């Protein structure tokens, strides 16, 4: 039974395409095209890239994408719920991995506006409570009248300045 890489190579050659033409048609690097055709899965950093490139390449060559991806999954090994092959040397899942997985499943286009609206409502309520808690007394209470009391006791006259202009003499 031919491997996925053999099927890719045979179909590309049947269509008379070079590796460079296939790379231009799929926007996949020529190195990755060659790795797909050779079945060298270690070239790719994660199985998700293998499946994505295989799907794109199968679509370009007009092969059945679902069958190709199923065969790729069989070739790269068993796949866990995260889409990572069992033999990839991945560390065990921890609390952070679980939280990040759950956050990735959230529909942020719905949740973010709701959180923003909730934050605005809570912020407005706190600002209103703060405004209500401020004393309603006159802030100018305790200040004097602001008028300067004249030094002379003669009514209707202004006080004379105590210091004259510097450097002027003889006037």
The confidence score (pLDDT) of residue 21 equals 93
Taking only the tens place, the pLDDT of each residue in 20-30 is 999 999 999 99
Q: What are phi and psi of 165, to 5 degrees?
A: -65, 140
Alpha carbons within 13 A on the beta-carbon side of 16: 0
**More confident site: 27 or 164:** 27
The confidence score (pLDDT) of residue 62 equals 92
Taking only the tens place, the pLDDT of each residue in 112-161 is 999 999 999 999 999 988 888 776 777 677 776 666 655 555 666 666 66
SS3 category, 86: helix
Taking only the tens place, the pLDDT of each residue in 53-108 is 999 999 999 999 999 999 998 888 744 444 444 544 555 678 888 888 888 888 88
What is the distance between the alpha carbons of residues 131 and 109, in angstroms, rounded to a whole number?
Answer: 34
Q: What pTM value is reported for the model?
A: 0.47
Q: Which fold has domain 4-88?
A: 434 Repressor (Amino-terminal Domain) (1.10.260)
Q: How far is the first Cα of the chain from the last one, in angstroms, to the nearest whole number?
A: 121
What is the distance between the alpha carbons of residues 140 and 144, in angstroms, rounded to a whole number?
Answer: 9
The confidence score (pLDDT) of residue 19 equals 92
What are the domain boundaries of the chain? 4-88, 95-131
Task: Compute CA distances 60 → 8, 25, 28, 33, 56, whole Å.
Answer: 10, 7, 11, 12, 6
The confidence score (pLDDT) of residue 46 equals 85
Report the largest interatomic distance among the alpha carbons of the chain, rounded to a whole angstrom: 122
Of 101, 46, 56, 36, residue with least CA distance to 77: 46
The confidence score (pLDDT) of residue 99 equals 87
Task: Compute CA distances 164 → 56, 118, 167, whole Å.
Answer: 93, 66, 9
What is the distance between the alpha carbons of residues 122 and 47, in angstroms, rounded to a whole number?
Answer: 45
Contact 72, 51 (CB under 8 A): yes
């Amino acid at each position: 039974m031919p491997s996925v890489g053999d099927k890719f190579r045979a179909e590309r050659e049947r269509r008379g395409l070079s590796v460079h033409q296939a790379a231009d048609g799929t926007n996949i690097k020529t190195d990755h095209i060659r790795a797909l055709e050779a079945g060298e899965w270690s070239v790719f950093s994660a199985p998700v890239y293998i499946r994505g490139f295989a799907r794109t390449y199968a679509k370009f060559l007009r092969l059945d994408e679902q069958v190709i991806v199923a065969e790729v999954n069989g070739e790269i090994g068993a796949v866990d719920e995260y889409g990572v092959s069992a033999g990839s040397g991945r560390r065990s899942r921890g609390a952070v991995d679980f939280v990040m997985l759950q956050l990735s499943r959230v529909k942020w286009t719905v949740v973010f506006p709701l959180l923003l609206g909730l934050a605005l409502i809570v912020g407005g309520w706190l600002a209103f409570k703060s405004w209500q808690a401020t004393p309603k007394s006159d802030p100018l209470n305790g200040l004097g009248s602001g008028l300067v009391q004249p030094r002379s006791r003669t009514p209707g006259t202004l006080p004379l300045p105590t210091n004259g202009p510097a450097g002027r003499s003889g006037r």
